[in-house]
Chains A and B, each alone.
Chain A
Amino acid sequence: MTDVKQIVNLKFTLNGKAVEVDCEAEETLAEVLRDRLNLTGTKISCEVQVCGACTVLVDGLPVSSCTLLAYEARGKNVTSIEGLAKPDGTLHPIQQAFIDEFAFQCGFCTPGMILAAKALLDENPKPSRDEIVHFMDGNICRCTGYVPIVRAIQKVAGTLESKHHK
């Protein structure tokens, strides 16, 4: 084992802006986002690609950033939760729907959940309940029982049948 760390220079597009960062070769994308770029919205939980908390979009596809080497994101288009709202603060419709439908409690799974939902809706703007459940099954939420999350996604898709608490 060597104590000399191999440093790599990494360039990619993050939330629409070009970034350049030096990191160790073995660093994950989640580590680079959180520790090098101070974007802590990406959460780390299971660290084995099972819970979805660390989900970010790489070229529009949902990826577990806890197990993706940052190097693999070179030259690509990365979207983290910090990149979703408009610069004027207007929330993305999915973010707003999560608030309106009480689709989170502790909030730790929420960034990954919202980005997974974005990937789904970008690919399939009107998913059925079964399609939502199937697509989102890789994201764990321990607080909500999932039901309000499904509702929030249906709300954005325009398929939510009844209004809740209004």
Chain B
Amino acid sequence: MQQEKKKGDFRVVNHAIPRRDGRAKVTGRATYVSDVKLVGMAWAKVLRSPYPHAKIISIDTSKAAARPGVYGVLTGNDLEGINPYYGHAVKDHPLLAIGKVRYVGEPVAAVVAVDERTAFEALEFIEVKYEELKPVLTHDEAMAKDAPLLHDRVFEAGALRGFEGDTTAGKGSNICQAHHIQWGNVEEAFKNAAAVVEGEYYFPMTYAYAMEAYVAIADVNDNGVTVYSSAQHPFMVRHDLKAIFNLPVSQVRLVVPFVGGGYGSKSYTKIEPLAAACSWKFKRPVKLQLTIEEAMLTTRSDDALTWMRTAVDANGKIIARQAKILMNTGAYAENSPLVVEKSTNRCVGPYSIPNVQIDNYSFYTNTVPASSYRGFGCAQVTLPGESQIDELAAKIGKDSYEFRVMNAAKNGEEFFPKMRPFEGSLKQDLDIAAKALRWNEPAPKGRAKSIACSTSDAGAYPLTSTAIRVHADGSVTILTGSTELGQGSHTVLPQIAAEELGIPFDKVHVMSSDTAITPYDRSTGASRTTTLMGSAMIDACREAIQQMVAMAADVLKVKTEQIQVIPGGIRAGEIQLNWSQIISKYYALPDGEVIGRAYIRKAGRFAQIPVFWETVSTGVEVAIDEETGKIDVEKLVTVGDVGLAINPALAEGQDIGAATMGLGTGLYEELVYEGSQLMNGSILEYRLPRFKDTAKEIELNLVENQDGAGPYGAKGGGEGSLNSMAANIANAVARATGVRIRHAPLTPERVWRALKEQKAK
């Protein structure tokens, strides 16, 4: 653990320093891919499938291709010479439909033209003949004995090595991924339980709505493939593009400037292969900018239908939990196999439960492909998990907050077999939430309070590298593959470098994700950047300092042992040199540089998975209008167990942002399918949290016990406060009305109907 310095000792770290990208973003000068133009650039527009499941009989592109300003039309028939299937889990996703369409909205053809409008106008001149097939739309339909198969072959595994691509496609079912965990003896435990609760819960499909829709500009030429993209994980996209074009890694370059929101929806490869194939075919740079409606046809979150039961013994100790989860993954695997694995693990919650069995299945269906969404399956299973904690507490007559505290995993406890022991202070977190909500005081009439919590095996896979360049004037450039999605990586990382090198924050600058320049970083997701890239930053700075100590020894003709490192430079006896003086004297010119490097792998302090436990407690006080079913959030509390906040304002910003998204899925966000059609696939109909929905009272808390594996004991944040929000809403409604709703979102209609049913009983 890198935690020599204690809270209070820090000069730059642990301070709410204003964002590095602040000026650029408030003046309109921040560049996003949607703002980029290349010389000679053409535009692509996509023709999408009107059918959920159909054979493509023929595509006639001649009329569209003949239109003025059109360079050509690309279809699944034109992909000979490249490997058109991609996917980091399993390579099941063609960059354009080949022979078959599998969901309404799947790309079937792309027109490449002189400008966007010309490309768009040509789409209607493409003639496609389909032969409709029976669609598979729900978990039940996917599981049916005579269900048509979405995929009829086994696929190669992608960049997510270690995941073996264990899809059952081609083995006679539509199961995309199954995952199971089991310890203790669940059957025995339920037999001997003092009380059991059991129920079925549904968490909906949701849409992340990054304000910037997917966009990519591809330039494929003799030098290789260059793509400017809004991707969160450029190195993972590089892996897919390398395979598609059969090129060495060195000839594939992903450049990611500022990203207009991600929340997981820009994780992994999305439209880059299609943009690149257009550029490859028509031999010019091509920009593909989706609309929000198209983005909603590109990715969504997995829904989850969860049956769960939880048991306690006579002392109120949770002794068992069992769940069976069914997820609708859509037409292609994308990141769902990992979502399945994570949601399975996250069913356990931050509790020490001796008997556990979770069985999780995701299904291919003829709907929009599901993938990552902030929290990776945790919100889906925390609705049942934290609902049942309240249900059980009520059943045995215990206060739900005290019941949680009593069963909370303790710091250092191996509450999840074979994983990293719990690192956090859940009791302290829950106490803070309870105090903030004035838990002991009754809620005013028509209102109710709820406290909930979650923990996630976060940080993804620990493979991260970085380099820092200390220049002869003492300024520093950080080369990092961690993308700036808004979470503040370009502020937090220079804070760490400035702290380590003992120089002002203003002297440290960041070179953003460019796979040709910035060293490999596996991903920007799973709340991992502060912990992993932050640790790499410390190591790289210390390696640079070591080199500069050796250079100073050389310059001063002393032994390195005689040199003492001080903030911003060194001291040797009476002589002090800053970094600039060392480098300039070493090269005998006021030029040159020192490069510090760091490589993080699954070893040392990151040998054990997860990288850290992301633990957050949240609380709400809501007002329920029983006449209309409308719920207003009066008070919102978050308690982020972050180890150390490198930048407290940014950490709190993540918590309130994630909590707000969580309230959205708890209260109104839901993608609605009617048959094969997405009924609310536009921002006119998909209800998002707005200004008017913000809680009147908000209290954001950070718990900083420096108990994580990251820099100075930091852990990640950014997803946790989303996860328990839907459960909070459901629990508050149950406390206020006695009605338990097990289906999110708790829309006015759903609440009103549930209350009406209750009255009828």
Contact = CB atoms under 8 A, between A and B. Distances in A.
Interface of A: 1, 3, 34, 39-48, 50-51, 53, 80-82, 84-85, 91, 95-96, 98-100, 102, 104-111, 114, 132-134, 136-137, 139-150, 164-166
B478 interface: no
Contact of A107 (B67, B486, B649, B690): B486
Interface stretch (B193-201, B258-266, B453-461): B258-266
Interface string B643-685: 0000011100100110111000000000000000000001110
A43 B289 CA distance: 13
A147 B656 contact: yes
B22 A148 contact: no
A110 B21 CA distance: 12
A114 B26 contact: yes
A108 B684 contact: no
A111 B649 CA distance: 21
Contacts of B80: none
Given A46-B683, A98-B26, A107-B258, 8 more contacts: A45-B212, A99-B18, A106-B258, A108-B211, A133-B692, A143-B486, A145-B656, A149-B691
13 contacts: A45-B292, A46-B684, A91-B23, A99-B23, A104-B19, A106-B211, A106-B259, A108-B261, A132-B691, A133-B691, A133-B694, A142-B208, A150-B691
B28 interface: yes
A72 B97 CA distance: 41
A40 B28 contact: yes
B486 A137 contact: no
Contacts of B692: 133-134, 137
Interface in B201-241: 208-213
A106 B486 contact: yes
A12 B660 CA distance: 40
**Closest 3 pairs (CB-CB, A-B):** A41-B28, A106-B486, A105-B486
Given A48-B684, A50-B683, A142-B661, A42 B486 contact: no
A3 B353 CA distance: 69
Contact of A41 (B27, B210, B261, B650): B27
A149 to B, nearest CB: 8
Contacts of B211: 43, 45, 51, 53, 106, 108-109, 140-142
A48 B691 contact: no
B30 interface: yes
Contacts of A132: 691
Contacts of A140: 209, 211, 683, 688, 690
A80 to B, nearest CB: 7
B650 A102 contact: yes
Contacts of B18: 99-100, 102
Interface stretch (B31-39, B174-182, B325-333): B31-39
Contacts of A51: 211, 683
A111 to B, nearest CB: 5
A102 B26 contact: no
Nearest to A92: B26
B25 A102 contact: no
Contact of B649 (A46, A91, A102, A106): A102
Nearest to B32: A108
A141 B22 CA distance: 16
Nearest to A94: B26
B16 interface: yes
A44 B34 contact: yes
Nearest to B721: A145
Interface in B284-300: 291-292
A43 B683 contact: no
Contacts of A110: 25-26
B485 interface: yes
B29 interface: yes
B649 to A, nearest CB: 5
Nearest to B690: A137
A111 B260 contact: no
B495 interface: no
B12 to A, nearest CB: 14
Given A48-B684, A81-B28, A40 B698 contact: no
B282 to A, nearest CB: 21
Interface string B486-497: 111000000000
A144 B27 CA distance: 18
Contacts of B21: 107
Contacts of B258: 106-107
B567 interface: no
Interface centre among A45, A82, A98, A143 (most CB of B within 10 A): A143
B68 interface: yes
Contact of B659 (A40, A50, A100, A145): A145
Contacts of A43: 32, 34, 211-212, 260
Interface string B410-434: 0000000000000000000000000
Contacts of A80: 28
B267 to A, nearest CB: 15
Contact of B19 (A34, A102, A134): A102
Nearest to A136: B691
Given A3-B68, A133-B694, A105 B488 contact: yes
Contacts of B208: 142
Given A82-B28, A134-B692, A108 B657 contact: no
A40 to B, nearest CB: 4
Contacts of A142: 208-211, 261, 263, 657, 661, 688
Contacts of A82: 27-28
A79 B438 CA distance: 47
Interface in B4-58: 16, 18-19, 21-32, 34-35
Given A80-B28, A142-B688, A147-B694, A106 B485 contact: yes
Nearest to A50: B683
A107 B24 CA distance: 9
A16 to B, nearest CB: 16
Contacts of A147: 656, 694, 698
A105 B654 CA distance: 9
A45 to B, nearest CB: 5
B24 to A, nearest CB: 8
Nearest to B36: A40
Contacts of A111: 26, 28
B230 to A, nearest CB: 10
A84 B694 contact: no
Interface string B236-270: 00000000000000000000001111110000000
Nearest to B698: A147
Contacts of A143: 261, 486, 653, 657
